[in-house]
Every structure is written in C-alpha cells, then in structure tokens.
Amino acid sequence: MRELEKLFDRIIQRVNINLRELAFDVNPLVRQLIPTGQMTKFYAFYGITPHHPLNLVFKHSNLSGSYFLGRCRVTNSLLYKSDIRGDELKKSGDLFQYQEFNVPVDQDEEIRIDDCYLIKTLVHNFSHDPETLERFFIRDTVSTHYANIHGSPADGCYLGPFATVDLTTMRDCVIGAYAYVQAGEISHLKIEPGTVWVRNPDDFNFMYRYPLNQLNNYIYFTAGSQPQGIFMDFVEDRKEAFQRVFKVVNIETPVTVPANASLDRFAVIKPKTRIGDNVLVAQRAFLQNSTLGKGANAQENCYIINSKLAGNNVTAHGAKIIDADMGTHVFVGFNSFLRGRPDARLTIGKESIVMPHTIIDIRKPLTVKPGSLVWGMVGNAEELEANSMALKDFAKIHSRISRGHMLFEGSGTNFVNAFQERIHHILEANGAFYNGNLNRGHAQKNQNISFNTIQPYPKGDKEGMYPTIIIQP
C-alpha cells in the first residue's frame, strides 16, 4: 500500500502548488476522506459498444469502483467510484463551430486524467473549449463527493461535494460545496459554497448565492470530517441497494424495457417503475415507484422516487425528484433536490426550467406554473414567488434585475434561448426523438454494452495500485 500513499502525497502537492495564490490547502480536507484500505476493495469496469471508441490506458493509478466509457487515459491518479463518460468525443475530421469559426478536429479526442484525485465524481467529456479540441484534460485536480466535471477541462483545481463545473475551462480555481459554474473560462477564482453562476460574456450573467445558514442543513463540509447534511443522508440511506447491483454478475431487470429504450446494467430499479419509449436510464441512477414517459431520461446519480415524468424530461446529473409530478419538457438541472411529501406533492408544469442546484423542499402541496424558470431555495408558495418567473417575462429583461439573492444582468431572451437550445440538444443526443429509423441517440446506442472488470494488486507495497493496462480494439 506504500505506492498508494506516495501517489496520494504526489497529487496533493501538485494541486496545492497550483492553488498557492489562493492560499488554499486541500490536504486537511481530503487526507482521511477515503481510507486507503477502502480504495483496495472494489473492481473497476469499462464498457464496450460498437458506437464508442475503445482506447483505454491506465498507468500508475488506483481506479476503485470507477467506470470508463470511450477513449480515456489515466496516469498517476486516484479515482474512487467515479464515472468517466466519453460518449460524445469529437472525431478526426469533425468541424467544431465556435462563434464565426469552423475549427477542424485533427485527431480523435480523448479524455486525459493526470495527477488527480476524483471521489465519486462524474466526468462527461462534451467540451466547448476551441483551444483543446483533441484532448479533454483534467490534471492536478481534486474533486469530492458527487461533484460534476461536465464538459469542463480542469487544471489545478478543487471541487467541493456536490459542486458542478459545466462547459467551463478552469485553471487554478476552488469551487465550493454545492456551487455551480457555467462561465466559459475562469482562472484563479475561489467560488464560495452555494454559488450558482451562469455567464455568457458580454451577453448575460446570472448569479445566486444560498444563505449558508440554510445551505449547511443540506450540505456542509469542513476539514477533518466527512460531508454532512440532508444530501449525504439521502444518498447513504440508499447505498445498500447499489451494493447488490455491483456484486451480482447476472441481475434480472424487474421492469419491462421497450426495445427503443435503455436501462443501464448498473442502475437500481425498484418495483412499480414504468419506463416508456426512448427513455434513457444511466448508470448509478435510482428509480422507485415512478413513471418515465416517452423520451424522458435519468442521468448518472439521479434519484426519481414516487414520481411521474410525463415525457421528454431532462433530469440532469445528480438531480433528485421525490413525490413529484412533472409535465412534458421539464428540465431539472444538475444536483437539484426536489422533494415533495406523500401528502404534499410537488407539481411542475410543462416546459419549465428548474435551474441547476435548485432546492425545492416542501411540506404543503405546491405547483409551479407551466413555462416557469425556478432557482434557489423554495420551501413554500411565498418563496416560490420570490425565486421564480415566467420564462416569457424573463425573456423581456434587457438590463438588470435583482430578486432576493438572485441578480441577473444582460439579455433575458438570450439566456432563455440558450437553455432551451441546450435542452433540445440533450434530448436529441439521448435519443428522445428516435422514430424507429432516424435520430438514434444514447437510449438506442447503449442497449448492448459489454462490461468488463479490472482488478488492482491485492497485497504488498503495490496494494490498491493497478498495473499498466492498455485496452484497445
């Protein structure tokens, strides 16, 4: 196990060097976060399909419980139960459109992870950075529980639990717990916990900050302790259901899955769940007593419990929907937490957008009107009024508006259009519009994935380390 410990020290030193200008030390935050003995217990696994490029190289790393899909290289890194998803990698010969430029892709894109410590982190490769078309890099970075690195190359960064960086290239940055950043490119910034920031330079800027005394009830993380709060309790209470999924080789599906839909082998599906046409259910998703209508999806680390999604719904990575009814074309953003109660259901009208990292936690029935934009902390009708607006009214904003803890500047029309276009892209990429011939997406392409496992050294100085492994077609 000596090599594992030396690798940990190497990674921490490199990350701290990058963050020295911010006077930020990751060591006390992660030193005892995952005991080294825990990192030797689990196999890693990867998927093979005819639709995704297979070229995996693992060098001097620990990959405990992690999943890989697509073209990926991992060097000098510790990955603990992370998902590395390379199903939208650019290919040689593609033209990448950026503003007025059409940039040719010279070679097949790959994910490159170097000198990183990723804990239960989702990595999705869909990067919009025109400067790094062929290599989606994550280096000298530490990321903690249930963070999302989504289309966001990272160099010398730290992400707190349940943080998300989305379509943003970041260098030497600290992203606090439950912060969401979609800002194009950031450098040498410290983003405070509970910040929700969506920016398109010279176009619009959305900013919301949770009051920490409220956010700390849901997620709180400090040096010397594990992440705490309602979010962690919710996940931990359902952990045993996933243990069986990962231990059993041949597991039966308790529900009927249409021929044009996809249910991942490593998702948890409880009885009384119904899956419609063109539905995508990703790995580590959890469904219980729920209905997913045609074209809906449940992405990685999503929980949908006692709920009904009418169709063409996007439930982004890490979102949780409990005791709720969703109209068609409802978008629920990254790591949002929507909790009704059996006797106090939450209803969200069609074509609404729930911003990433939104918390709706109610004890009385609540209805969000169709075509609404919702953000922030909502516990009752009064807070919904303060933290929502009709999309058609938001689109009329031309300068600046401040409501409670939210500040928006710029073009409301462009902000709304950008979200709606992205939602359409997600549905299209996931195969929601498949008609039996055209518009195949992940729901159709992921139906027949072959999973293979790889193991580390079981004992000695190299315990927990994986030998150099090259997996190619």
- pLDDT for the residue numbered 362: 98
**Please, what is the average pLDDT of the chain?**
95
Encode pLDDT of 56-92 as tens digits: 999 999 999 999 999 999 999 999 999 999 988 988 8
Domains 2-235+449-471 and 238-445 share a fold: yes
| Whole-number percent of the chain with pLDDT over 90 | 86
What value does the mean pLDDT take over residues 178-205? Answer: 97
**CATH architecture assignment, domain 2-235+449-471:** 3 Solenoid (2.160)
Cα-trace Rg, the chain: 21
- pLDDT for the residue numbered 384: 98
- pLDDT for the residue numbered 6: 96
**CATH architecture assignment, domain 238-445:** 3 Solenoid (2.160)
pLDDT above 90 (res 130): no
Check if the beta carbon of residue 364 is closer than 8 Å to that of residue 175.
Answer: no
- pLDDT for the residue numbered 96: 86
Distance CA 260, CA 443 (A): 7
Task: Label residue 199 by pLDDT band (50, 70, 90).
Answer: very high
Encode pLDDT of 334-366 as tens digits: 999 999 999 999 999 999 999 999 999 999 999
Burial bucket for residue 101 (CB in 10 Å: 0-12, 13-18, 19+): exposed
Burial bucket for residue 370 (CB in 10 Å: 0-12, 13-18, 19+): middle
pLDDT above 90 (res 154): yes
Distance CA 306, CA 344 (A): 12
Question: What is the amino acid identity at position 157?
Answer: C
- pLDDT for the residue numbered 64: 96
- pLDDT for the residue numbered 95: 87
C-alpha distances out from residue 164 to 150, 336, 473, Å? 7, 11, 33
- pLDDT for the residue numbered 266: 93
Encode pLDDT of 25-54 as tens digits: 999 999 989 988 899 889 999 999 988 889
Encode pLDDT of 230-260 as tens digits: 999 999 999 999 988 888 767 778 899 999 9
- pLDDT for the residue numbered 462: 93
Collect all residues with Cβ–Cβ distance below 8 Å to 284 and sequence separation of at least 6.
83, 242, 266, 267, 300, 301
- pLDDT for the residue numbered 340: 98
pLDDT above 90 (res 468): yes
Q: Give the side-chain half-sphere CA count within 13 A for 78.
A: 26
What value does the mean pLDDT take over residues 178-190? Answer: 97
What value does the mean pLDDT take over residues 283-291? Answer: 97
Give the residue extent of every domain in the chain.
2-235+449-471, 238-445
CA 345 from chain centre, in angstroms, equals: 26
pLDDT above 90 (res 131): no
Question: What is the amino acid identity at position 46?
Answer: Y
